[in-house]
Each structure stands twice: as structure tokens, then as C-alpha cells.
A and B are shown apart, each in its own frame.
Chain A
Amino acid sequence: MRVRLWGTRGSLPTPGPETARYGGNTVAVEVRSDDNSVIVLDAGTGIRNLGRTLPGTAKRVDVLLSHLHMDHIQGLGFFAPLYVPDMEVHIWGPPSPAESLRSRLGRYMSPPLFPVRLRDLPCRLTVHEVPDGHVHVGPFAFDASLVCHPGPTVGYRITADGRSLTYLPDHEPGLGVRGPLLPDGWTSGCSLADDTDLLIHDGQYTDAQYAERVGWGHSTLDRAVEFAKLTRSRKLVLFHHDPDHDDATLERLMRELIDRTRPTMPVSAGYEGEAIAL
């Protein structure tokens, strides 16, 4: 399984020279199996470049949305496979008690926010609300589970080729917790991340930022490392970088984080274009 980060920024695209290293596109991740089947995680602005690299022979692509905040769907209308007749596109996302996933997506993919409606796309589109339990898609299997973030939000654990990837881009595992995270039965996201080969996890805030934004659904850098230790994750890639963290700031924060937390696994800040082989 190969993973490529096409967008690592949270909240808002932040293009410019000061974010050139880690990238300014909002979140999108390509997961490719050994047989070149592709799953896409989230549809932030990074998905536009991702879509242009899919092989012309591809007949199917699955897009797994963690939730429908704008930074996770803004690129969807610019995802090239949606405009390829006979291309099978499957969009998966969290159910809501109030409205279907298709209807909620349609609020963005319709005028006045977007000129093309979902129903007018030429591809063969299927929208799925993620069920409980295992889902099999070609060589991949994935599990989705609700995680701590405002509104219906899921994280994913994807397995293929004997390896596992856990994707928790927007996650506040320490909400309401004083002191260390609770044992793993009582911490959001643990069932998805337990013993995973690669954990891609929200690392948006410093402790000082978090103090002003409790309940906004994001993790501090330190909590992300603590969560990775709790779940015995083998590698941690911090993700969903704060728009205010330019390259120089992120590099300083990472140095300080490593010195402070002494992680037991490799920890890095994900950057746009990064390729990770599992």
C-alpha cells in the first residue's frame, strides 16, 4: 500500500511562498494498493491535482469523506473523474440523523455555490452512507467509526496488502479530559488506530491555541503524540496544519514537540507531495 498526501492544510487553503514546503491545499490523500486500485481520503483542494494523476485506464475510484466541513469537500467539484463518462465514482461519508449524505453534498454541489449539480455529473456516481462494520472495495477493506468532532464525522482504518492506515484528520481526543488521555476504551478513535502501521492525525493546534478553541474538534500536537502512544501506532504523520502555521513555524513546533514528548514512534509533519510506502 502506498500513501500520497495531496493536501495537508486544515480549515482554509493557504497558498504562498511561506507555506511552500508543507503545502497550502486542504486535505486530500491518495491510497494506492499494489494492484493500483485507488481510494481517496477527503476532497479538499488537494484532490484537484490528485485527480489529474489517475491512470487513464482507471474504471473506478472511491472517495471516503470524513465529514462535510468545507475544507474537506471544496475540491470535489474539481475532481476530474467526476467528468469522465462511464467512470465509476463512489463517494462514502458519515450518515446524519437529519438528511441524507447525497442531499447534504448537494447543498455544495449546486447553484449558487457551484454550477454543476451532482445529478448532472457525467460519471456513474454512487453515494454511500458508511455502515457499521467492514466494507470491502477491491483489494481494500475499511472500517469507519464516529470520532470526536462537531457534526457527523468519521475516521477510517484502511487495510490492504497486509498493512493498515488510520486516518483521523479532524479529531479532538482530549475533549473534556483533564490530565492524560483515558484508557483506550474511553478515548475516541482508539478502535480505529489500535496498532496501526500509519496514523495520519490532526495536529492543528499548539497548547496555547487549544486553550482558546476547546470543542472546535481539533487536537494539539502533544495530544496527537499521546494518542499515537496510547494506540501503539507505528508511525505518526501530523496533518490538518493550522492556516497560521507557516513552514518556519511548523518546523520550530515539530522540533519542540519531539524534544518535549520523546515519541516512541517516528513522528513528522505531513507535507504536500509526500509519499509513504507501507
Chain B
Amino acid sequence: MQRELEIVLTRQLASYLATPAFIVDPDGNLLFYNDPAEVMLGHRYDETGEMPAAQWATLFEPTDADGVPLPPDELPLLIALRTRRPAHREFWITGLDGARRHLVVTAMPLVGQAGRFLGAIALFWEGAAP
């Protein structure tokens, strides 16, 4: 089943960016993350592949600055999907390599031609050390 063209092109753009990028479909299922995101998440996309929101949203153990776990619906990507507006926040994750990282994340909904809602993309970068 071919992805929507806008998603195909978004993946291709992401694959050229030095900024980590993470793409999900309208249901929150992970479709792709790029090489720089692999470094931050501690795992290669080829190894994780696509996965449902319930899985990736907890896999990286997101927490706030005090170590309190963040529920999935407070993650910027899932906020962007739910509200169809951009969302931004900082939080902490544990990468699949076991490293704890401070992330700054901006997520944007992806709306295609004729108003088709296609999912969302998150661009993120590493925050300052504690």
C-alpha cells in the first residue's frame, strides 16, 4: 500500500536533514525517523521499523524534568495529531541504548491537498545538559 505522496516526500526531505525528524500517520503510528533521530533515540529505524503509537510513546520512557513519566497524550506529536495545531515542549527520554537525553521537540500536523489530514512530523534537538 503506497503512502500518500506528501508523506513520501516528507520522508525524503527528512532523510536529507541534519535535524532529527520523526513522522507518524493520522493514528500516531510511527512511519519513519531519520539518521540523526537514530542517534538521539539510540536505535536504527531499520531495526525498529514502523510501530503503533502506544508502543513508541512509552518505549523511550518520556518524563518531565523531575523524572515524572509523561502520558502519551502530552507528547507534542500526539498533541499535534489531536488538535491539528503545532505543539512544542521539552522532556527527557531514555534511548534504546540506555542513555538519558533531554529533548526539545516541535511537532506539526501534515495536511495535504484538498485538506487531507496525513499525520504529523516532529523535529527535535538535544536540550541543555541538566
Contact = CB atoms under 8 A, between A and B. Distances in A.
Interface residues of B, number: 16
Given A148-B9, A175-B12, A176-B13, A187 B2 contact: yes
Most buried by B among A97, A146, A188: A146
A263 B70 CA distance: 53
Contacts of A109: none
Contacts of B114: 95, 97, 132
B2 A191 contact: yes
B101 interface: no
Interface in A162-198: 175-177, 184-191
B11 A186 contact: yes
A76 interface: no
B58 interface: no
Contacts of A187: 2, 8
A145 interface: yes
B16 A176 contact: yes
Interface in B86-114: 112-114
A146 B5 contact: yes
B63 interface: no
Q: Is the interface of B mostly helix, strand, loop or mixed?
A: helix
Given A176-B13, A176-B15, A190 B2 contact: yes
B12 A146 contact: no
B1 interface: yes
A176 B16 CA distance: 8
A184 B16 contact: no
A116 B8 CA distance: 40
Nearest to A147: B5
A94 to B, nearest CB: 8
A95 B113 contact: yes
Interface of B: 1-6, 8-9, 11-13, 15-16, 112-114
The 7 closest A-B pairs by CB, nearest first: A176-B12, A191-B2, A146-B5, A190-B2, A185-B2, A188-B5, A188-B8
Given A95-B113, A185-B2, A186-B11, 20 more contacts: A97-B113, A97-B114, A146-B5, A146-B6, A146-B112, A146-B113, A148-B8, A152-B113, A175-B9, A176-B9, A176-B12, A176-B13, A177-B12, A185-B3, A186-B3, A186-B8, A187-B8, A188-B5, A188-B9, A190-B2
